[in-house]
Structures are given as C-alpha cells and as structure tokens.
Amino acid sequence: MKTLRIPAFWRAVLVVLAAWFLFDNAFPPVLPRSLMIQFMTITVVGVLLYFSFEEKRWTEFKAPILAVLRDRGKWPLRWSLLVAIPALAGYVTYGIVKPSFDAPVELRQVHPAPPSTLRVFDKSHDLGTLENPVRERILARLESDKPESEKTGAAMAAYGQAVEDGRNVYFENCFYCHGDLLDGTGPFAQAFNPLPANFQDVGTIAQLQEAFLFWRITTGGPGLPKEGTPWNSAMPVWHEMLNEKDVWNVITFLYDYVGQVPRMWNPDTSKAVTGMKEQVQAARKAMDPAARYRFRCAACHGETGAGDGPAADFLYPRPRDFTLGLFKYKTSPGMLPPRDEDLFDTIEHGLEGTGMPEWATLLSDEQIQGLIPIVKGFDTVATWAPEDADDDAFDDEGRYLEGDFTVVTETEPLNGQIPYSEESIARGRTVFRKACKECHGDLGRGNITSGKRLADDWDTRIWPRDLTKPWTWRITNVPGEDEAARIDTIARIYQRLSIGIPGTPMPAHRAVEAGNKDPVSLADRWHIANYVYARRQGAAPMPGEDTLISALKIEGELPLEVDDPAWSRARAVTLRLAPNIIEEERLFTSLSDALTVRALYNDADIAFLLEAGDRTDSRPGEPVSEQIQDENLEMHSDAFAIQFPKNDAYVAAPVVEKPLFRHGDARHLTTIWYWNAGSVSPTTPPQAVLLDASGSDRKLTARKTNDDPTANGKWEHGRWRVVMKRPRNLASPSGVQNEHGDISFDEGRFMPVSFASWDGSNDEIGSRHTLTTWYWLLLPPKTDPVKVFGIPLGVGLLVFIAGIVLVRGQRHAKS
C-alpha cells in the first residue's frame, strides 16, 4: 500500500497554520496581538531553520516556490500571488497602524508568592511552617491510646463538626461570589473581573498549602503583592470580620467539599489527611438522598426545607420554602403542583439571577431524581399526598410519610401560537396596559403604579419582573437571538401568563376552574407574550457584552438633558452591579443589578449618561414610593457615582496597575463624582459633589471648591437617567492647573472608571450600596489618514515591486 507523503513546502504551511490555530485558541480569553506576532515569527523562523538544515530537504522545500517564479506555464498563479501578497501585506500593515480600541491586557499571577510572615489576629504567623490548627487537633485524636474504632470515631466527629462550622461561615459570607458549588459562579460573581476563584479546578487550592489560603483569606485583595495586580480583586480583608477559628474552619470546609487534600510538608500528615479524605468521600458516594439534601441543599433551603438555611436571609429572592408545596416555575396547568420534570429541570439547570446553581455539574441524573421525593416530603399541606391517604400517614406537622407521592403528568397546552409581528405586538401592548400595568408599569420595568405593596405567600416583600432585562427572566428566557430561540421564549412567556407564578401576586390568566371564563383570552395571552418579548428589543445591551466605554466626540455644547437625541449616538455599555460585601456596613439583598453607561465629549468637557432600572422614585416624601415602602426599611434618596483614579494613581501599559477595588488606597487615590436625587419632603434639591477617596477603610472627603460636576437626573417609568458633566482638564479658581490631581481626559488614553448606585427604597446609604469593578474609558484618538491609509498602501507597493524584481531575477537565473 502506497503511503501518502505531503511535500515539504505544504508540510511547512500546515505547521504554520496549526501554530496559528493553537495560539489563537489555546490562550483564553485572547492572546495579545504583540505576543501573537512574536510567537508566529518564532514559528516561521523555526520552520525555515528546520527545512534548511539539510540540503535535500531545503531543495524539496524550495522547488514549488521556484517553479512558480520561473515556469512560463504558471504565469496565472504567479500574477495572482504578485497581487495577493502585496494586498495581504498592506492589510496586515493597516491592522498594525490603525488606532487600537482594544482595552489593555490585564495579566496577573494567579498564585503570587506569599510573604514569609503574616501579622493578623494580633500575632505573627510564619507562613513557611504554619499548619491548620483545626486539622492538627483532629489528627491528634487519631494518635491517642484509645481503641482504634473509638479514636477514629472521635476524629471523624471532630472533623465533621469543623466542616459544618466552616460551611455555615462560608454560606453566610463567601458563597455570594464563590457559589454553592465552590466554582466561582455565585449570585454576584459576574460583576467581578477577574471572576472569583473556582475551587473545583484542580489548579487552585489542590496545588496550595493551607497557609497560602490563610494568607489570601485574611488579607483579601488589599493583601496582594504587586505581581497580583491590577488589584481588581474584590476579596474582603476577612481578618477584620471573622475570627481565626472561623477562617481555619472555612479552609477545612473548602478542601472537604471539593474532595481535595492540601499540599503538606510532612508525608505522614499528608498520608493521614488523605486517608480521612478517602473515608469521607466513600461515605459521600454512599449517601442516601436525604443525606445528600443535607449536604448539598440545606445551607439555603434549611434542614426541614423551610427556606431558612444559614444563607437564606442574605439572598434575594429567598430560597424556596418547600413546606407549602408552592413552586414558581412549572409547566402543569392551574393549581396543580409541578411535574417531576419541572423539579428535575430546576435542580439540573438552576435559576439564573438567583442563588440556585446548576447542579448538573456535580450531581448525576440519578442523584437529582433522588432529591425529588425529599423535596416533596417537606410539604405540610398534603400537596402530593394521595387523596385517600389515612390521617396516621402524616406526622404532627402535616408531612406525608408513606412516600407514594402523587405524580403530575398534565402540561399547560401551548396551542394557538400567534406569529410574532408588529400587529400582534401592538395588540399585546393594549392588553398589557389593561391587565399588567398596575404591577409591571406602563413600559414593563416593574414600577408599581397601583400603589400596592406586593408580598408573596410568606409575606416576604417582592417586586414585579423588569421585562426589559431578559437576563433576569429565569427559566423563561431561552438564550439566543435566532427565530427558534424567540419562538421558544415567547411560548414560555405565554405559559407563565396562563399558569401564573404560584405563591406570588402574579395570577393565572387562564381560568383555573373548569368552565370559568379566562381572565385574558388565549389569543390575547399570545399577543401579550409577543409584546413582552419585544420589550427586550431596543433595551439596554446585555451585561458583559462589552466592557470598554468608548466616548463619542461631538461638536458644540454637551447635552445636560437626559432625553437629548445626541445620547442615542453614543455607544451604550451595560455593566453588572454587585452589592458592597467587602466593608461594613455590608449589603447583601440588592435590587439593582446593572447600570448602562454612555459618554460624550467635546474639546472642553466630558459627560456621562447613567441609566439604571429602579422600580421606585426613592426620594423621601414622594407619595407613591412612600406608599409602597417596606415598613422594615428606611427610605433614603437614590444616588449615583462615577469614580476615577487620580492622574498618577494608575498605569495602563506595559503592565496594568489600577486602584484597589472600591476606593483605592493611600497610594492609589481616587476622585468620585457623586449625585444625590434629593427629597420631596422636606424639599431638598438634587446635588452633585466631588469626593476624594484614599481607601475603603477611610472616610470620603468632600471637595470644598467650586468645581463640582454639573448634573441632571430624571426618574420615569421605572428608570433613573442621570447626566454628569465636567471639564476634561480643570484649572482651579486660583489658576493652578489640576491642583487636586484629577485625571485629565485626553484622547487616546485608556482610563480606569467605576460606578456605584444607591437604591434609597432598599435602605441603601453610605457603604450600603451596589458598585462595579474597574473598567476602561477611552476617548478615541484622532485618526491620521496619511498614516492609517498611506503606510499600508506604501508597504503594499514596495512588496509588489520587490515581487517583480524577484520574478525577473529568477527567470533570468533560469535562462
């Protein structure tokens, strides 16, 4: 059999292409262009060296090239290359010389070297010899003189208690970022860059000693050395909020939950810890569904399924209370309980925008299926009990004990779907205003117009969905913008309209009782579904789609009115907000999840338009907001802020260095533009002021000058829009240029920027607020046409001339 042999030249081409594909795809999220050019140059040089090392191989490599240059019969290919190669050279040159709007690459060490010693909890720790004292006490029990079974039992009991204590601390403090699954996907995780650490990754804590974790946890983001920059880490300084025992218990819990053993110097200790881990993991694999629920689910849903786990009070929405048999998301009709498939899907895929994770990453289908009877068993109102069940089949609290739970099979019909069209959307808007406006507002942003305070069946304050934010639609939103995703999403909206959301004020718009008239007809429910889907069109971009705020230069005065058409020309960027959980007084249950930013500038000034969904016009004394205000929360004024580093407080290249997360530090000072909405009673006008910051642990200082930002704000239909404007380069009243060191907004300069929001109806004031991490602002540089277009044309022409000379020379050499 004849073996296929690839000629030398084409082998070289394949190697170069394979290298390009590898470099382009194997280094997430993206390899910087300068490094790509460097790596590809090394690859090409290496390939040429390899083929030129032997005369025979070099001759074979050159043969097709010389044939194209010399042979008369190959003139079509020759002239094609003479045109294509100069064009390619010009195109590559254009890509190099054109202005780059790519944000600076933020490289950092994932595991920077720790210091040799650490002083926390009023004592010094030698990190080279430090061991986990909780683990040492547990292992000491194994070395006692007691019988083997007794000392093993004592050690495992002590270990179990330490893990349980650590779990409680973790879920009360850490899981909001690192998640239920310890994979860095907690409810607030997407607001941070870099993302919180994924402890399930074997490249994280499995490679580290416990002393390293002790250092990182106790000192947080501010404790990172310079090689850990750009200091975007939102990790709190936990030694200020936890005691030493709590920290070690959390570390013990982390390793236990992910099934890993820390690196240890002592091989005997490592062997003992590994043995305990194997024993624990074997017991975990043999867990029955009830034990698996306690291990995986009780931290949020509680030991008895009442939604009262250690993390519950800090979550919005709260974890589901299973005792009433009410579930928000189901496909069964009317008042029927959910189908088993509904429960399975919720556990498997989780609920985006809540604390409910995607358990499919850790649990098998069989294990998920096993949890369904456990969930049903928490019910205290006979939701799933057979109709003929005897009274003695229930315990004193009403839980059915026999286990032969009812299985619902009926599904809400989806017949009669009306095609998505302008006519249907218009009809849907009309019906929406009649049936849905009182709760969802005129434009669907969830601003209650009825003046009613909404609560669920557990008397927990809840808010209507903001229909302009599809990323908050939970299971109703099908990802994608194609027609199939649209049809499926609209069908799910229709289903939600027909069924309602049990346990909430959201009613079923199809008659629950047979023979009754539908509150909203079948056709109108489809029209509403089409209209609701259309609310996402033209709304703010999805968070995370773009994180570079590129300002637009315009001629004339910058607009101060939020409705000015000039703002529609500026590119909108939506950024995720996260509650401040790193400094006391902390906030956990925030209602604001995103902020949309636009920027305009001219030769003199720069202005920003901030847009944020806010269901209430939170100004003390505002009638509707006061009427629906939660009696357990104090109302304050809504507010927004923009933060910049001082001119000398950051570096954009070659190695990025930003201020610390939130308010920088003593070496990385910041300036804050702060706007407050004022109040209706007593009458206080909106106010914009400048604040100087020097660290999260220090008080903000109000600027006592006349250079405050000019600002204007407007709340309308469940949305705040605020404009703040200030000179790009400011001279003080005394004539001293920029005496406070404020940043100069120069064209072509990447500048860090962050944002903050205060929802007054949520008792947000001072450090209780939401905020973003640091992002980049760019005023695009001026484009020099001669440089941008002339240089590529010149390079292309030179390459063309060189090609002509080369062809002539080779043909002359042949003759």
DSSP 599-661: EEE-SSEEEEEEEEE-SS---TT-HHHHHT--TTS-----EEEEEEE-TTS-B-SSS-B-PPT
Helix residue ranges per DSSP H, 350-474: 365-377, 422-435, 437-440
The amino acid present at 489, given as its one-letter code, is T
- Both 579 and 613 in one domain: the answer is yes
- Rama region for 240: left / alpha / beta (φ>0; ψ in -120 to 50; rest): alpha
- Both 528 and 573 in one domain: the answer is no
C-beta separation of 642 from 740 below 8 A: no
- Read off the tokens for 192: 């941070």
Q: Are strands 578-579 and 687-693 parallel, antiparallel or unpaired?
A: unpaired
- Both 511 and 571 in one domain: the answer is no
User: Would 265 be classed as within a structural domain?
Assistant: yes
Give the pLDDT confidence score for residue 29 in this predicted structure.
54
- Both 643 and 727 in one domain: the answer is yes
- Both 271 and 305 in one domain: the answer is no
- Final residue of a structural domain among 286, 302, 326: 286
User: Would 415 be classed as within a structural domain?
Assistant: no
5 pLDDT higher than 80: no
- Final residue of a structural domain among 286, 311, 342: 286
Distance (Å, whole) CA 98 – CA 94: 6
Strand partners, 120: 123
Give the pLDDT confidence score for residue 733 in this predicted structure.
45
Give the pLDDT confidence score for residue 734 in this predicted structure.
44
User: Would 793 be classed as within a structural domain?
Assistant: no
Over pLDDT 90: what percentage of the chain?
60
Residue 145, exposed/middle/buried by CB under 10 A (0-12, 13-18, 19+)? exposed
3 pLDDT higher than 70: no
Over pLDDT 70: what percentage of the chain?
97
Residue 597, exposed/middle/buried by CB under 10 A (0-12, 13-18, 19+)? buried
Phi, psi of 560 (to 5 degrees): -105, -15
- Both 560 and 700 in one domain: the answer is yes
CB-side neighbour CA atoms (13 Å) of 538:
6
Average pLDDT over residues 55-70: 85
Q: What angle do CA 44, 50, 51 make, to 5 degrees?
A: 95
The amino acid present at 655, given as its one-letter code, is V
- Final residue of a structural domain among 243, 270, 286: 286
Give the pLDDT confidence score for residue 732 in this predicted structure.
46
Average pLDDT over residues 602-610: 97
Distance (Å, whole) CA 388 – CA 723: 65
Distance (Å, whole) CA 322 – CA 312: 13
Q: pLDDT per residue over 428-448, tens digit each?
A: 999 999 999 999 999 999 998
Distance (Å, whole) CA 111 – CA 227: 9
CATH of residue 710: 2.60.40.1190
Strand (E) positions, 141-208?
A: none
- Assign 1 a pLDDT band (cuts: 50, 70, 90): very low
Give the pLDDT confidence score for residue 724 in this predicted structure.
98
- Read off the tokens for 791: 């240089």
* Neighbour count for residue 97 (Cβ, 10 Å): 16
Average pLDDT over residues 471-479: 86
Q: pLDDT per residue over 752-798, tens digit each?
A: 999 999 999 999 999 999 999 999 999 998 877 878 888 889 988 99
User: Would 792 be classed as within a structural domain?
Assistant: no
Nearest Cα neighbor of 342 from 526, 469, 495 is 495
Can you state the angle between helices 133-142 and 267-285, rounded to 10 degrees? 80
- Both 575 and 426 in one domain: the answer is no
- Both 566 and 503 in one domain: the answer is no
Nearest Cα neighbor of 640 from 683, 689, 601 is 689
H or E segment to which residue 522 belongs: helix 522-534
254 pLDDT higher than 70: yes
Distance (Å, whole) CA 760 – CA 636: 4
Distance (Å, whole) CA 126 – CA 215: 11
**What's the mean per-residue pLDDT of the chain?**
90
Q: When comparing pLDDT for 105 and 666, which is higher?
A: 666
The residue behind tokens 């059915």 is 400
**Residue 80: CB partners within 8 Å, gap ≥ 6?**
none
User: Would 485 be classed as within a structural domain?
Assistant: yes
Strand partners, 721: 611, 714
Distance (Å, whole) CA 753 – CA 321: 41
Q: pLDDT per residue over 185-231, tens digit each?
A: 998 998 988 889 999 999 899 999 999 999 999 999 888 887 777 77
User: Would 637 be classed as within a structural domain?
Assistant: yes
Q: Are strands 123-126 and 639-645 parallel, antiparallel or unpaired?
A: unpaired
28 pLDDT higher than 70: no
- Both 587 and 485 in one domain: the answer is no
Phi, psi of 597 (to 5 degrees): -125, 140
Give the pLDDT confidence score for residue 737 in this predicted structure.
54
Written in H, E and C, the secondary structure of 318-362 is CCCCHHHCCCCCCCCCCCCCCCHHHHHHHHHHCCCCCCCCCHHHC
736 pLDDT higher than 50: no
Residue 370, exposed/middle/buried by CB under 10 A (0-12, 13-18, 19+)? middle
The amino acid present at 382, given as its one-letter code, is A
- Both 161 and 272 in one domain: the answer is yes
Q: Are strands 670-676 and 594-601 parallel, antiparallel or unpaired?
A: unpaired
Distance (Å, whole) CA 272 – CA 151: 13
Strand partners, 639: 676, 758
- Both 771 and 684 in one domain: the answer is yes
Can you state the angle between helices 289-296 and 365-377, rounded to 10 degrees? 90
**Residue 107: CB partners within 8 Å, gap ≥ 6?**
655, 656
Supply the pTM of this predicted model.
Answer: 0.86
Map residue 445 onto helix, strand or coil: coil
Nearest Cα neighbor of 538 from 494, 572, 492 is 572
Q: pLDDT per residue over 301-359, tens digit each?
A: 999 999 999 888 888 889 999 999 999 999 999 889 999 999 999 999 999 888 899 99
Can you state the angle between helices 244-258 and 133-142, rounded to 10 degrees? 70
**Residue 264: CB partners within 8 Å, gap ≥ 6?**
131, 209, 270, 273
- Read off the tokens for 2: 């004849």
627 pLDDT higher than 70: yes
- Read off the tokens for 243: 């005691």
Q: What angle do CA 312, 318, 322 make, to 5 degrees?
A: 90
Average pLDDT over residues 505-516: 88
Nearest Cα neighbor of 531 from 431, 435, 447, 441 is 431
Phi, psi of 608 (to 5 degrees): -125, 140
Average pLDDT over residues 140-155: 88
Map residue 441 onto helix, strand or coil: coil
**Residue 29: CB partners within 8 Å, gap ≥ 6?**
none
Domain count, the chain: 4
Nearest Cα neighbor of 398 from 382, 386, 384 is 382
Give the pLDDT confidence score for residue 30 in this predicted structure.
58
590 pLDDT higher than 90: no
- Both 169 and 206 in one domain: the answer is yes
User: Would 112 be classed as within a structural domain?
Assistant: no
Nearest Cα neighbor of 379 from 507, 500, 503, 505 is 503
Distance (Å, whole) CA 370 – CA 288: 8
Map residue 668 onto helix, strand or coil: strand
Nearest Cα neighbor of 171 from 13, 305, 297 is 297
The residue behind tokens 């269901």 is 615
CATH of residue 188: 1.10.760.10
CATH of residue 489: 1.10.760
User: Would 414 be classed as within a structural domain?
Assistant: no
CB-side neighbour CA atoms (13 Å) of 224:
25
- Rama region for 373: left / alpha / beta (φ>0; ψ in -120 to 50; rest): alpha
Give the pLDDT confidence score for residue 528 in this predicted structure.
97
Average pLDDT over residues 577-590: 84
Nearest Cα neighbor of 376 from 335, 407, 412, 416 is 407
Q: pLDDT per residue over 259-311, tens digit each?
A: 999 999 888 889 989 999 999 999 888 999 999 999 999 999 999 999 999 88
Distance (Å, whole) CA 233 – CA 773: 9
562 pLDDT higher than 80: yes
**Residue 759: CB partners within 8 Å, gap ≥ 6?**
590, 591, 592, 614, 616, 618, 638, 769, 770
Distance (Å, whole) CA 759 – CA 466: 15
H or E segment to which residue 292 belongs: helix 289-296
Q: Which domain holds residue 462?
A: 422-534
